[in-house]
């Protein structure tokens, strides 16, 4: 309760000094992607193809008080056959010194500072149902509940090129269900930008921990872990590598806990109107029922490549390819195979 009262006080005191206005400033952005995807699964004798049609529309809202504090938030509508709205966006307060505070739906600071490793473009992938729980994202161990806050430092915190963040969240009531949820969490993260010769080097990472709760069995390992990464940009060339390790959970027919790790690496090169990218991801995990030793091995290894051509301002054509080797409990599954994609996107 103490956390909730402190959060409410911060929100009310900040909003209370805002000038009365008719409407905040709104900006819009969005994109439309359409193309054809061709899949060939290893465990299937039949190839498949489909038209990929995806659009999204984002609205950002922002206003500045007389005291110089900027209050902002945003929401996104995504259409992938069925329309869905992303309403998990924080209310962000940006202060005159450059620091910021996110209130509600704030996320985890370890995820905020996960490295942006280059990867291929396109909407290609291998579909299929499986109980494979190997992680694919560097921040897979960074959990949070919706009742959370995250603080971001201003640029050049303590030393030039350093930014740090810290977050905490608490129980929103959903953890008291049979399906496992994050009950509370904390996280810290940092990003350091420096130069090395002609290259700009970004080093980033974070540490997170949380408590996973149900109304029945506790997980033997709660959601938590760390991620680190480094990305270097030299002219038109970008290279990066990242690693994440920790524990997480999932719900299949029962609560599943996962002890996993993932390594990602990528390279991107821009020449004129062409952007060429190559990315690899290697995820491993041991999963098992809550309260039991994690003994069964899952893995997902993928390699993706793409070529994107800027046709006109805001219009791009893309060709992408992905190959995936997925193992569940040591056996190959339908999520293994290869896929092609050819399409175009228009953005504003």
Say if 317 falls within a structural domain.
Answer: yes
Q: Which residues of 83-105 are buried (b: 16+ CB within 10 A; e: fewer)?
A: eeeeeebbbbbbeeeebbbbbbb
Say if 120 falls within a structural domain.
Answer: yes
Per-residue pLDDT band at 219 (split at 50, 70, 90): low
Say if 342 falls within a structural domain.
Answer: yes
Say if 13 falls within a structural domain.
Answer: no
- What is the predicted pLDDT for the residue at 134? 86
**Percentage of residues of the chain with pLDDT beyond 90:** 55
**Percentage of residues of the chain with pLDDT beyond 70:** 82
Per-residue pLDDT band at 47 (split at 50, 70, 90): confident
Per-residue pLDDT band at 14 (split at 50, 70, 90): very low
Per-residue pLDDT band at 218 (split at 50, 70, 90): low
81: left (phi over 0), alpha (psi -120 to 50) or beta: left
Strand partners, 112: none
Question: How many folded domains does the chain comprise?
Answer: 1
Say if 234 falls within a structural domain.
Answer: yes
Say if 193 falls within a structural domain.
Answer: yes
Tell me the pLDDT tens digit for each residue of 184-195: 899 999 999 999
Closest CA to 290 of 194, 209, 180: 180
- The model's pTM: 0.83
Tell me the pLDDT tens digit for each residue of 167-208: 999 876 655 667 778 888 999 999 999 999 999 999 999 999
- What is the predicted pLDDT for the residue at 149? 95
Say if 97 falls within a structural domain.
Answer: no
The CATH number given to whatever domain includes residue 113 is: 2.40.160.10
Average pLDDT over the chain reads: 85
The token pair at 196 is 């090395």
Domain limits at 256?
31-55+108-347
Closest CA to 123 of 191, 170, 215, 55: 55
Say if 318 falls within a structural domain.
Answer: yes
């Amino acid at each position: 309760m103490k956390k909730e009262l402190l959060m409410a006080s911060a929100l009310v005191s900040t909003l209370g000094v805002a000038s009365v206005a008719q409407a905040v400033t709104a900006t819009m952005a969005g994109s439309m992607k359409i193309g054809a995807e061709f899949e060939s699964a290893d465990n299937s004798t039949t190839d498949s193809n489909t038209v990929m049609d995806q659009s999204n529309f984002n609205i950002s809202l922002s206003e500045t008080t007389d005291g110089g504090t900027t209050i902002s938030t945003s929401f996104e509508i995504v259409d992938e056959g069925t329309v869905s709205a992303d309403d998990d966006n924080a209310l962000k307060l940006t202060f005159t010194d450059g620091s910021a505070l996110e209130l509600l739906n704030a996320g985890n600071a370890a995820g905020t500072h996960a490295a942006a490793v280059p990867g291929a473009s396109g909407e290609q992938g291998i579909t299929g149902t499986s109980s494979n729980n190997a992680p694919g994202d560097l921040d897979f161990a960074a959990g949070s509940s919706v009742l959370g806050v995250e603080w971001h430092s201003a640029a050049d915190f303590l030393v030039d090129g350093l930014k740090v963040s810290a977050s905490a969240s608490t129980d929103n009531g959903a953890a008291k269900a049979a399906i496992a949820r994050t009950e509370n969490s904390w996280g810290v993260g940092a990003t350091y930008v420096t130069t090395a010769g002609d290259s700009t080097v970004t080093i980033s990472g974070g540490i997170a921990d949380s408590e996973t709760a149900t109304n029945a069995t506790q997980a033997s390992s709660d959601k938590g872990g760390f991620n680190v990464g480094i990305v270097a940009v030299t002219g038109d060339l970008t290279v990066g590598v990242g690693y994440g390790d920790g524990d997480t959970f999932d719900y299949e027919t029962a609560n599943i806990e996962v002890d996993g790790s993932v390594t990602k690496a990528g390279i991107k090169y821009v020449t004129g109107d062409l952007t060429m990218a190559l990315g690899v991801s290697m995820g491993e995990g041991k999963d098992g029922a809550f309260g039991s030793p994690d003994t069964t091995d899952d893995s997902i290894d993928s390699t993706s490549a793409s070529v994107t051509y800027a046709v006109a301002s805001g219009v791009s054509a893309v060709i992408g390819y992905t190959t995936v080797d997925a193992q569940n409990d040591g056996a190959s599954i339908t999520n293994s195979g290869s896929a092609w994609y050819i399409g175009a996107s228009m953005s504003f």
